[in-house]
């Protein structure tokens, strides 16, 4: 009974966070979601829970595909083209990890996602610093999203 209530509260909390997030934060939430599902997939491999592993890796791949689809190649130029290729590589590696139950491949993908996420977080920090100095009122970041 309490578990169901906690789960429902968690879903409402997540919906509220998504609805109030700016585009930059939404991208971070997607990255965090992919990392969480990859970590869960590793645990499922260790527990030999193949069905749960399949679900988590599939969801991680779906999230990375959503990140890939969010790229704005008109505004992102070379950076978005590089991210396109990286996201494609990560998705292919996830499928290989799924077929081979390979935690090392999942660790590789997680490392790549953490690097992209750190860069994305740095964009926000740079923007906030410029904004506090009065140098910008609004800027386009990353893949063409406004903050």
Does the structure show a pLDDT above 50 at 143?
Answer: no
Alpha-carbon distance of 14 to 21, in angstroms, equals 10
What token pair was written down for 80? 């978005």
Contact (CB, 8 A) for 34 and 42: no
Model confidence, pTM: 0.76
Mean pLDDT of the chain, nearest integer: 83
Straight-line distance from the first to the last Cα atom of the chain, in angstroms, rounded to the nearest whole number = 41
Tens digits of residue pLDDT in 3-61: 555 555 445 444 555 455 588 889 999 999 999 999 999 999 999 999 999 999 999 99
pLDDT band at 145; cut points 50, 70, 90: very low
Report whether 68 contacts 60 (CB < 8 A): no
Residue 144 has pLDDT above 50, yes or no: no
What pLDDT was estimated at residue 15? Answer: 53
Q: Is 123 helix (H, G, I), strand (E, B) or coil?
A: helix
Residue owning tokens 């968690």: 10
Which domains are assigned to the chain? 21-146 (1.20.120.340)
Cβ contacts of 71-77, under 8 Å, gap ≥ 24:
71/143, 72/143, 72/144, 72/145, 74/144, 75/140, 75/143, 75/144, 76/142, 76/143, 76/144
């Amino acid at each position: 009974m309490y578990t169901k209530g906690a789960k429902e509260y968690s879903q409402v909390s997540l919906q509220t966070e998504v609805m109030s997030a700016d585009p930059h934060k939404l991208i971070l939430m997607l990255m965090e979601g992919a990392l969480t599902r990859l970590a869960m997939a590793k645990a499922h491999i260790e527990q030999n829970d193949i069905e749960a592993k399949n679900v988590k890796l599939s969801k991680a791949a779906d999230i990375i595909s959503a990140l890939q689809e969010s790229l704005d190649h008109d505004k992102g130029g070379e950076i978005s083209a590089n991210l396109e290729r990286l996201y494609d590589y990560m998705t292919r590696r996830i499928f290989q990890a799924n077929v081979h139950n390979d935690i090392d491949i999942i660790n590789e993908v997680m490392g790549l996602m953490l690097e992209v996420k750190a860069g994305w977080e740095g964009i926000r920090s740079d923007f906030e610093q410029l904004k506090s100095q009065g140098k910008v009122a609004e800027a386009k970041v990353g893949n063409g999203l406004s903050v």
